[in-house]
Copies of this chain bind each other. A is one copy, B any other.
Amino acid sequence: MTFSVTILGCGSATPSLKHFTSAQIVNVREKLFLVDCGDGTQIQLRGCRLPFGGINHIFISHLHGDHCFGLMGVISSFGLLGRTAPLFVYAPKEFEQIFKAMLDFFCSDFPFEVVFHGFDSTKQELIYDDRSVSVTTIPLKHRVPCAGFLFREKSVEDHIDRKMCDYYHVPQWEYSRIKAGGDFILEDGTVISHERLTKPADKPRSYAYCCDTAYNPQMIEQIKGVDAMYHDCTYSAQDESKANVYYHSTTRQAALIAAQAGVGQLIMGHFSARYPDESLLLEEAKQVFANSVLAKEKMAVNL
């Protein structure tokens, strides 16, 4: 079952010749979640041939333009493409008033509802929950209210081992009970254990989006052991003073968080345009946390 992250933009501040500003699609079992929405996000959605209709939930980390100026374009295109299903937008609560004013002005005649959920970015809050995945905010340290998002896949039931079930003549109507943990009892009273009749389900996966943020060890406890983390890597380790001023992170700081939280993989992003050779940023991170990769537009990471 799919759990992937597709990078639509991983530059910072303003678009460069190399990067779009922040946006990505998290695909959990074919549900598409749009995380941040910088200018031109809908162009990248088209470029990646992602279906606009598959997106029902948009998460905005904070209200700097490079994370939200593409939102009206995306919503407007949904309308033009004939959407009728409601769209849910999650953002710091400070956004509500201006967002509603923009919707009223530009989208009043649209044939679908936009439901706004404002969150308090200083707290961990469960903002989305369904059968397959939950999304919780991660309080971050930035110049304005800002939260990351923790995607946690739900456990699935063990898979039926058809060969073993056939061998013991288990009738199909027993499958649901066995998948849910039950054993099977033969006519002679012999107990065939659940473990013998099933193959264990895959481990549920998890992903943390942590952008934009200064070095923020407070979040380590929350994101411990996630399979992948996308983290603010705006600056080289040599420019830590700049990172401190603007509440961003260096490559080294991101890698330290990755190491301390024991994540599976660090996806580095939100690159400042001042570094023409990003491979140097990668080297810096790898010195602290080996399994680091540079984000890149249109790159997909499968968890």
Contacts and interface: CB of A to CB of B under 8 A. Distances in A.
B102 A39 contact: no
Contact of A77 (B14, B20, B43): B14
Nearest to A47: B17
A85 interface: no
A253 B72 CA distance: 32
Contacts of A17: 46-47
Nearest to A98: B105
Q: How many copies does the complex hold?
A: 2
A38 B77 CA distance: 12
Contacts of A106: 63, 65
Given A39-B39, A39-B70, A80 B13 contact: yes
A106 B101 CA distance: 14
A49 to B, nearest CB: 8
Given A15-B42, A15-B46, A42-B15, A72 B73 contact: no
Interface residues of A, number: 29
B63 A42 contact: no
A69 B73 contact: yes
A249 B241 CA distance: 56
Contact of A40 (B13, B40, B81, B102): B40
Given A15-B46, A40-B43, 12 more contacts: A13-B77, A14-B42, A14-B80, A14-B81, A15-B40, A17-B46, A20-B43, A65-B72, A65-B76, A69-B72, A98-B105, A101-B101
Interface pairs A-B: 6 shortest CB-CB? A40-B40, A39-B73, A14-B77, A65-B76, A98-B105, A69-B73
17 contacts: A13-B80, A14-B42, A14-B46, A14-B73, A15-B43, A17-B46, A39-B42, A39-B70, A39-B73, A40-B40, A40-B70, A63-B106, A65-B72, A66-B76, A69-B76, A98-B102, A101-B101
